Structure 1
């Protein structure tokens, strides 16, 4: 790898880390935010959800736009917008202004996430591409899991504003370095048209679908408004598929899903990030509320997973090059399954050793799965599909994160409400055993998702082995 390409890769990796980090870094601060802004636990989850919703809604659009006007150009603009959004989000005015700042962050993050894998794929020759993509995937996985631990450490020295403001100086440095190291875009066909209908309908689907999931926690899923919103979301999704199958230049070319290796890899990634976000969302409440650990100590405990991912992620990429991505992905998901089983044994008096071991298996699982699976996904498609493949891959991860946020809290609060016989939409203070019941119920579902991902990955391996 030439030094300029390495510098460019590190710039892309740094923004990949920061944008994925900001999907989870606020998790440990949400109890504090909710208290300061006088909103419920379910309401404060919008700080996380609005970020992931906007990214999911726009990531394919900006991937397509990058193919038309230049991936590097869109990436650079995105870095600037994300840095500005980080500054705005940290300014304490009110809850609405915080959501406004998060929306700006998400806009910039969608622009960078949609083009980072495409830029990297074009920047490196085939013999170096797998290692470069593995590094990028590791930074993404590391950022998505490191949030609670880093957020806890930041909260020990300052207010939650610094969770966002830490991005500003790092972002400025990365922007300056990127301007000199990132390659120039090749000439593009700017006469190509964007799929505005598909973009608008898909964004509306994301908004209606996740609004229904989030608001259903407080209003109830039998509420006519919630049911109507879900029906509209389903209708929008059907309309999106129909439009994309008939327009000349679709935002999402569904032919890419004819590739079984690509489709299985994307679905497995979606499920793995759902599982990862069950941990990121619920475990901070277990440590801070149920176990009464302070934020700094909880942050140290939560650092185990990102540190493990940082160690095993590159190892996963190297092992994938040597033994094949399918095999290493299977091992990674097996470790993730073990972690879910261990978490199901958590109680209010569990020894720290159990938490540490579970976190260790979690980190190994995510580290050994993400990079090899990503390599299989990106290596399985033709060059003409690389741009959309990168966008769909990123969408699957972000959609998985958003589903993880929504499903984990839905299952947690619904199971506690059923157990108690009344609606519960926030942490049940003084009823830690009730919370543990909800936590165990949620992680039973996480275990199911992990097992399904493993079955899909094993099926992919068997299919490819027979074909060989």
Structure 2
């Protein structure tokens, strides 16, 4: 293939890598807007993220093997079509359930965009140019991660969250034409020609039941029959998955790799450190939107600095590991991550944008440095014939940890938000009970209106109370012939309305403060996973590199 065609094919593959990486960060920015649009809750809307992680974790290896067996170009083009169709489904969805299903289908297509496209790009060029192509690929992916939050925020601000999915269509179309026309088919002639479909199904069942149990436990109760049954089913699937994978020749997860200390410990450290991405890519969006009242564009511009920190520290880390052990670089990186978590656990509704920018930049610096170095460490002691499988497995482990940690944090935040709302409700009832402005009957009517108060109808609280008071006043006037009673009712109405306006205003401030505490308390859970990472740091060094 001549140079011109090769580079046109590369452009198509780079666009695929770009859209695969940018899609995740763009959608994360949109989650609060989608939650409001469908009048949903955190528990449900987080399934947009969870289903993507769940499907991509389960299908990553099978998709790669399909590419090896039937041709990477063919499988990539099919997955590109799937991704495009799924993007349309997400964009036109008129229910959150359809959007979540579309997102799951999108993840199936994205599995190829993120994996098969890389070896296909490398096969276009001779070996002496592959390092250059890999460098260009890394730069494009880094660019996608960096511009994703700001681009997503700008799109939502100027139009609608639906366009973050529509924008995929022209890019996918251009990519399809370029890849179809200017790339050649690529196979892995030495790869295993069988796929572990049973293992894939069992792993998907184990992860989905565990994720559902964690996220829905607050709704049904963790001791309810449904949730307990799902936890048990998840445990059975995980227990059955291990001997199955050990017994077959083509496992999704090769457990023999975990006998290599640097691989197992480095991979687990990568997994625990995904907690930083969970907080600063996902949950911080909801804080910005619901507590800080930032627009999607403002949120995206702040989160850009997290991506900037990631890029800077990734570059610096490569130079540092030529002078220091990987364990040393990772240790101090985790310390920086801990500092960022300490800072984010002290934010309030009044925290400034500049402070948030500093916190997210620090988080990026801490989490960017160890990511690439830990992958290198994980693969260093792995035999050459298993390096491809090991590379895919580190990716699966990172996605698996991300999925489970997201579910845990969702469970914790939902639980604490429920407590925050109930405490605010008690605050409002107490305020009404102790009021010197309201008479006994009015207090009773207001308290009655608060019985059905929940997070979904909180914004209508004053309207509902006023409506109930008006109905009572009309009934009293109708049944009373006393002129003085009518006059008293008319006189006290402005005082009651004024009281309600002031009280509900202070209640909203109290609610925001309580919700803020719910977030920061949930963020503190991150310390557990970061402390584990610190304890693992001394053991991540590859034995062949630091044999002295």
The TM-score bracket by the shorter chain reads: 0.7 to 0.9
Distance 1:141 1:450, change over 3 A: farther
Which residue number corresponds to residue 283 of structure 2? 282
Question: Which consecutive unaligned segments of at least 5 residues does structure 1 have?
Answer: none
Which residue number corresponds to residue 369 of structure 2? 368
Deviation at 1:267, TM superposition (A): 1.3
Which residue number corresponds to residue 520 of structure 2? 440
Listed as ranges, the matches of 1:154-303 within 5 Å are 154-179=155-180, 184-186=185-187, 188=189, 192-303=193-304
CA distance in 2, matches of 1:23, 1:139: 15
Instruction: Write out per-residue CA displacement over residues 351-386 of structure 1, whole angstroms, 9 at most, x where no aligned residue.
Output: 333212111111222322222223333444223223
1:450 to 2:530 alignment: yes
Distance 1:91 1:182, change over 3 A: same
CA distance in 2, matches of 1:355, 1:232: 41
The answer to whether the 8 Å contact 2:68/2:191 transfers is no
The answer to whether the 8 Å contact 1:81/1:104 transfers is yes
Listed as ranges, the matches of 1:10-89 within 5 Å are 12=13, 14-89=15-90
Which residue number corresponds to residue 461 of structure 1? 541
Deviation at 1:160, TM superposition (A): 0.7
Instruction: Write out per-residue CA displacement over residues 317-368 of structure 1, whole angstroms, 9 at most, x where no aligned residue.
Output: 4554676655544443332222112112211222333212111111222322
TM-score norm. by structure 1 comes to 0.86
CA distance in 1, matches of 2:291, 2:376: 39
Deviation at 1:297, TM superposition (A): 1.8
Distance 1:332 1:122, change over 3 A: farther
TM-score norm. by structure 2 comes to 0.75
Larger Rg: 2
Which residue number corresponds to residue 481 of structure 2? none
Question: Which consecutive unaligned segments of at least 5 residues does structure 2 have?
Answer: 426-453, 460-507
Aligned residues: 467
CA distance in 2, matches of 1:450, 1:169: 41
The answer to whether the 8 Å contact 1:69/1:189 transfers is no
Q: Which deviates further from its counterpart, 116-125 or 453-462?
A: 116-125
Q: Which deviates further from its counterpart, 50-59 or 425-434?
A: 425-434
The answer to whether the 8 Å contact 1:92/1:98 transfers is yes
CA distance in 1, matches of 2:125, 2:536: 30
CA distance in 1, matches of 2:203, 2:389: 15
Distance 1:426 1:73, change over 3 A: farther
Deviation at 1:295, TM superposition (A): 2.2
Instruction: Write out per-residue CA displacement over residues 196-226 of structure 1, whole angstroms, 9 at most, x where no aligned residue.
Output: 2212211211221212122223222222101
Q: Which deviates further from its counterpart, 324-333 or 228-237?
A: 324-333
CA distance in 2, matches of 1:377, 1:138: 22
Cα RMSD of the aligned pairs, angstroms, is 3.5
The answer to whether the 8 Å contact 1:8/1:181 transfers is yes
Instruction: Write out per-residue CA displacement over residues 111-131 of structure 1, whole angstroms, 9 at most, x where no aligned residue.
Output: 333435655787899998778
